[in-house]
Chains A and B, each alone.
Chain A
Amino acid sequence: MEGSIEFSDLKLTDVLDVEVLQKFQDSFAKGMGLASVTVDKDGIPVTKPSCYTKFCMDYTHSTECGDKRCAESHRRGGEEAARLGKPVVYECHAGLIDFAAPIIIEGHLMGTILGGQVLLNKPIEERYQNIAKEIGVDSVGYVEAVKHVNILDKERVEEAANVLYLVTNNMSNAAYQKMKLNTVAVSLSDSLHQISATMQELAASATTVSGNQDSLNTEIKNVDSMTEQINEVMELIKEIADETRLLGLNAAIEAARAGEAGAGFGVVAQEIRNLSTDSKETVSKIKEFTTKIRKSVDTTVSMGNETLSTVQQQAAAIEEVTSSVEEITAVAEELQALASAK
């Protein structure tokens, strides 16, 4: 579906406002007396470390060996948390208590909040002397540093991890839902614009059809008036035929009165009458045709008018749809504005 979000492309910083997270993380760490940092799904920090201990910053991380062991420790903690889908509390390679809380959106691991760097009990010096030797740091300073590490109840550490887990997951999930809403709103807007464009095309073609039908009606009316004129001409021809016939009859009478001498003229008179009869028959045939033409014209005109009224109805419907689409577009734009607001 258009507007869906690919998780492989989605970064932790897309769903978490780093600035807000940093402030929250700093305050939280300071208030709880523990350290914290947020890393993305590849283990790369997205925030600056909050309240890191001297023990960790100045000693454990100071050697390559120590740094590697820290990284390995974090990785394991993160993996465990991701596997369980909830925060875990564990002891790190350097004997401090750490936690890892996964940030999960719809089953996909987006990152992890790591933290802790505390102790549950007073430290046993020998243990830290040994670790100092293992990672190659000054054991006196190391033991001194571990004495400054905060001692907290396990329950407190667990609850702290829980709070971070709940807050970051809620923040990122809410942001993710908003992103999803935004993509839906964008795709809705796009579709509506397409509908609008199509409606405009439809309206334009309705106008064209209506215009064509108007011209067609005008042309047809021309045909009608021409047919009327033909009929007028036919009346004239009929009148001429009537006159011709009369001429023929009178000629025949003259011929009859002329007796034998008029016989030839009588034939001509008969021919004239025949001619008149033929003319009249032709006139009535043409009149039959013009009557048919006028009937066709009438039918065409009424069909044309029907088409015209249908097209007008369509145009009105298109206008209605267009105004509805405009309303929905406004709503979709509002939705998009809401979804894309920070």
Chain B
Amino acid sequence: MSDMQLVVFELDGNEYAIDALSVNGILRAKKFEIKTIPGLPDYITGAIQLRGNVNYIFNLKKKLNIKNQDIVLESKFIMINIEDQVVGWIVDEVTDIIKFSTENIEMPPGFVKNERISYLKGIGKIDDRIIVLLNPENILNVEGLMDIDEVAAVLEDTKEALN
């Protein structure tokens, strides 16, 4: 059990979070122009220039198969450190940065030892809020992630089974 800090963000009305330590910074999407690059997978929207560096921008909604993939006006880029690189995720809004105790994480069901679900670190409970904790590296590395709705259904089943 230890404390960690989470960067909480919103995608299509649901809250997700990643460890603040892996976050490099937050940018306002409307301040940047995304250059599209042909030949890349469709979940990579393109690249931006930031302080002399080129950073790839990922459409997280596409990667997680979230149905409503509209880019909203107040969209943010969460810049994340992955393997000596900084990449951006498009999120609807960064809602909070919170202190969080790891004991409040409900781990993914043990029997679903599937690579397709390895992007999921667990479900965080803060009062009434349910926050999906993500594992940044696995999200981008694994192809054919388990559909987030599918995950939710599995979690629900698991909960019922445990109770």
Instruction: Establish whether residues B26 and A250, one from each chain, have CB atoms under 8 Å apart when the complex forms.
Output: yes
Instruction: Establish whether residues A256 and B5, one from each chain, have CB atoms under 8 Å apart when the complex forms.
Output: yes
A257 to B76, CA, bound (A): 20
A242 to B7, CA, bound (A): 17
A253 to B76, CA, bound (A): 15
A246 to B79, CA, bound (A): 13
A246 to B26, CA, bound (A): 7
A242 to B5, CA, bound (A): 22
Instruction: Establish whether residues B28 and A253, one from each chain, have CB atoms under 8 Å apart when the complex forms.
Output: no
Instruction: Establish whether residues A249 and B21, one from each chain, have CB atoms under 8 Å apart when the complex forms.
Output: no
Q: Does B34 contact A (CB under 8 A)?
A: no
Known A249-B94, A249-B97: A256·B26 in contact at CB below 8 Å: no
Instruction: Establish whether residues B20 and A250, one from each chain, have CB atoms under 8 Å apart when the complex forms.
Output: no
Q: Which residues of B contact A242 (CB under 8 A)?
A: 28, 74
Instruction: Establish whether residues B97 and A252, one from each chain, have CB atoms under 8 Å apart when the complex forms.
Output: yes
Chain A binding site: helix, strand, loop or mixed by DSSP? helix
- Pick 6 A–B contacts, CB within 8 A, sort by A: A242-B28, A249-B7, A253-B7, A253-B25, A253-B26, A257-B20
- Enumerate B8-29 residues with CB–CB distance to A below 8 Å: 20-21, 23-28
Instruction: Establish whether residues B97 and A246, one from each chain, have CB atoms under 8 Å apart when the complex forms.
Output: no
A249 to B27, CA, bound (A): 10
Report which residue of A242, A246, A269 has the largest number of chain B beta carbons within 10 angstroms of its beta carbon: A246
Q: Which residues of A contact B25 (CB under 8 A)?
A: 250, 253
A243 to B5, CA, bound (A): 22
Interface residues on B, range: 10 to 19
Residue count of chain A within 8 Å CB distance of chain B: 10
Q: Which residues of B contact A253 (CB under 8 A)?
A: 7, 20, 23-26, 97
Instruction: Establish whether residues B20 and A256, one from each chain, have CB atoms under 8 Å apart when the complex forms.
Output: yes
Q: A residues bordering B, Cβ < 8 Å?
A: 242-243, 246, 249-250, 252-253, 256-257, 269
Q: Which residues of B contact A257 (CB under 8 A)?
A: 20-21
- Minimum distance in angstroms from A145 CB to a CB of chain B: 135
- Minimum distance in angstroms from A198 CB to a CB of chain B: 64
A237 to B7, CA, bound (A): 25
A252 to B94, CA, bound (A): 12
- Minimum distance in angstroms from B138 CB to a CB of chain A: 21
- Minimum distance in angstroms from B5 CB to a CB of chain A: 4
A249 to B97, CA, bound (A): 7
- Minimum distance in angstroms from B141 CB to a CB of chain A: 23
A257 to B5, CA, bound (A): 9
Report which residue of B7, B20, B24 has the largest number of chain A beta carbons within 10 angstroms of its beta carbon: B20
Q: Which residues of A contact B21 (CB under 8 A)?
A: 256-257
A243 to B27, CA, bound (A): 10
A249 to B7, CA, bound (A): 9
- Minimum distance in angstroms from A240 CB to a CB of chain B: 12
- Minimum distance in angstroms from B8 CB to a CB of chain A: 10
Q: Which of B7, B20, B23, B28 meets A246, CB within 8 Å?
A: B28
- Minimum distance in angstroms from B22 CB to a CB of chain A: 10
- Minimum distance in angstroms from A62 CB to a CB of chain B: 131
A245 to B74, CA, bound (A): 12
- Minimum distance in angstroms from B101 CB to a CB of chain A: 15
Report which residue of B7, B23, B94, B97 has the largest number of chain A beta carbons within 10 angstroms of its beta carbon: B97
Contact with A along B69-91 (1 / 0, CB 8 A): 00000101000000000000000
Q: Which residues of B contact A249 (CB under 8 A)?
A: 7, 26, 94, 97
- Minimum distance in angstroms from B16 CB to a CB of chain A: 15
- Enumerate B53-107 residues with CB–CB distance to A below 8 Å: 74, 76, 94, 97
